[in-house]
Amino acid sequence: MSNLPSDPVLSRAQALAFESEYFGSNEELEWEAMNRAGDALGDSLLRDMRELRTIPHRPRILVLVGKGHNGGDALIAAKRLLKTIPTARAVIWQLCRWQDCRPLCQKAHEEMIDLVGKRVTEVDSLASLNGKEEIEKIFASLVEKEGFAASIDGFLGMQAKLPLRAPLTDLLSILNKTEEIGVRAAVDMPTGVAEHSGNEAIRADFTYATGIVKKPILEDSNFPWTGRLRYLDLGFFNNYTKPVSRNVQPEVLRPTVLKKLRTLRPAHSDKRTNGHLFLLAGSRELGGAAMMSAQAALKAGVGLLTVGIPESLHSSFVAMRPEAMWIPLPETPNGFLALEGLGKVRQFLSKANALAIGPGLGAEGETASLVREVLKIWDGPAILDADALRPEILEKISFPDRLILTPHAGEFARIAGSQSVQEYSTSTGSIVLMKGAHPQIVSPEKHLYSFSGSSMLARGGSGDLLTGIIGALLAKGAYDLFSTAVLGTLWHGRAAEVLARQHGQESVYVTDILDYLSFAIRNDF
């Protein structure tokens, strides 16, 4: 298995112990790390803000500052934004008096004021205010006509004492209800989030894990507060020796992993050198899924693509995407692929390097029989999606360890019952790509989270594109099965990020992602 760079996900106690050992009370090292974290957060937030709207001419940033290092990170991030946008302004609302803050938080504040102080407004500390009514009055006065383009929550970190109490709960309620904040960011984890909590916290649209991903932000009960997760790699784990454990521990992919796809094709290569994928997909009613998956495979660079589809779709599909070899297959009276087509499929399978099955197949029993028989005669790598993910199909496969399965939560429950993703992968040997807001790629030996992506992917057809992208990489054969699933997931997610930043999350087609696959691997983020 290829060693793609990834870092551990740590509990609160593990993260505290790691930081204590890593920094060793070296304030200079802590200050350097705080500046890298703040700068990375500021840059990332500036990119992510574009998913909502074009950056305003005079954006205002609300900076919520606690007394610890999260507060320092937030201040440095805001300073970065103000340096990048000369017309930007910031409002700082601190939790306590500056003299009660930790030294590095005070230092971050002093440097910010020295550099961009003329564009900064400061509010009386939250601790000095009397009741929710006064907090509401101050917030209303701060909003002004245009509100805030963004907020940065740096109030409390992982050492916070919970549950939250007034006056912080009063401000939390106001912040969560207001419509006057554009994009809400949290440093490390939103204020109020903790392990096994689920209590109300300050809501974030993006949570930026600075240097270490803590387990609470991956808990389902905290998703309403964490929003989309981003990992800012600060190099803490470059020389890290992972502890030996009987159980597979979750890790997070480093953002730089996608650079592995940035290669030149050999000068002396032809279409066969770049892989031949056989895609079995589509039905009379769900032909679009087959077309989208085929387009994605072609856009992802596969050398040859053969697609088995119902014969009623053939003529129109050939005209729409002539680069693929469209194979008309017999269909049932209801327009689904018929078992009768097995012989024709066998004829073309012998020339393929990889197999992709599922998009738009439908749930007819005869089609499931065709898929089952195809997988009996195919002995190479395959990716199965959608209606190919059925117990009656998977239970008959002799070598499930050559499969990449791409279920969403409902499909996974259908094939795995009460098993966890890790348990299912371990018992079958298959690679499982659990689709969701933050996809998980799981093998018997690894459990990785990918934080790339955008909520604009919450559309029909997104998974069909992912199948085509992974299928293309699988056919090229440059990476092992697990790495192929990882790289395809990252590529798909990163292209969605770029699309959303250019055009927003709403007024786009899901197939527009394909136009940004090139940008996603040709540029650093």
Residue 523 within any structural domain of the chain: no
For tokens 């990716």, name the residue. Answer: 383
Q: Is 74 in the same domain as 17?
A: yes
Q: CATH code at 140?
A: 3.40.50.10260
CA 233, chain centre distance (Å): 15
Q: Is 170 in the same domain as 298?
A: no
pLDDT single digits (tens) 128-170: 988 899 999 999 999 977 899 999 999 998 888 888 899 999 9
Q: Is 229 in the same domain as 303?
A: no
Question: What average pLDDT does range 64-90 have in this prediction?
Answer: 97
Torsion angle of C-alpha atoms 30, 35, 41, 47, degrees rounded to 10 = -160
Overall number of domains in the chain? 2
Burial 347-385 (b: 16+ CB within 10 A, else e): ebbeebbbbbbbbbbbebeebbbbbbebbeebeebbbbb
Q: What CA–CA distance (Å, rounded) separates 342 from 337?
A: 10
Residue 262 within any structural domain of the chain: no
* pLDDT at residue 2, rounded to an integer: 58
pLDDT single digits (tens) 437-477: 999 999 999 999 999 999 999 999 999 999 999 999 999 99
Q: Is 22 in the same domain as 146?
A: yes
Q: What is the DSSP letter of 238?
A: T
Residue 524 within any structural domain of the chain: no
pLDDT single digits (tens) 236-288: 999 888 887 888 999 999 989 999 999 998 888 888 889 999 999 999 999 99
Q: Is 148 in the same domain as 282?
A: no
Residue 112 within any structural domain of the chain: yes
Q: Is 11 in the same domain as 98?
A: yes
> Which residue among 217, 239, 261 closes a domain?
239
Q: Is 313 in the same domain as 435?
A: yes
Residue 246 within any structural domain of the chain: no
pTM beyond 0.75, yes or no: yes
Q: Is 169 in the same domain as 302?
A: no
Residue 25 within any structural domain of the chain: yes
Q: CATH code at 341?
A: 3.40.1190.20
Q: What CA–CA distance (Å, rounded) separates 307 from 476?
A: 17
Q: For the chain, first and last CA: distance in Å?
A: 26
* pLDDT at residue 405, rounded to an integer: 98
- 481 within 8 A of 431, measured Cβ to Cβ: yes
Residue positions counted in the chain: 525
Q: Is 299 in the same domain as 447?
A: yes
Q: Is 407 in the same domain as 467?
A: yes
- 39 within 8 A of 77, measured Cβ to Cβ: yes
Lowest mean pLDDT across 5-14, 197-206, 324-333, 455-464: 197-206
pLDDT of 208 > 80? The answer is yes
Angle between helical axes of 421-428 and 409-416 (0-180°, round to 10): 50
For tokens 């009397």, name the residue. Answer: 130
Question: What average pLDDT does range 378-389 have in this prediction?
Answer: 96
More confident residue, 159 or 220: 220
Residue 517 within any structural domain of the chain: no
pLDDT of 1 > 50? The answer is no
Q: Is 198 in the same domain as 295?
A: no
Q: Is 289 in the same domain as 390?
A: yes
Residue 258 within any structural domain of the chain: no
Question: Which domain does 482 fall in, by range?
Answer: 273-492
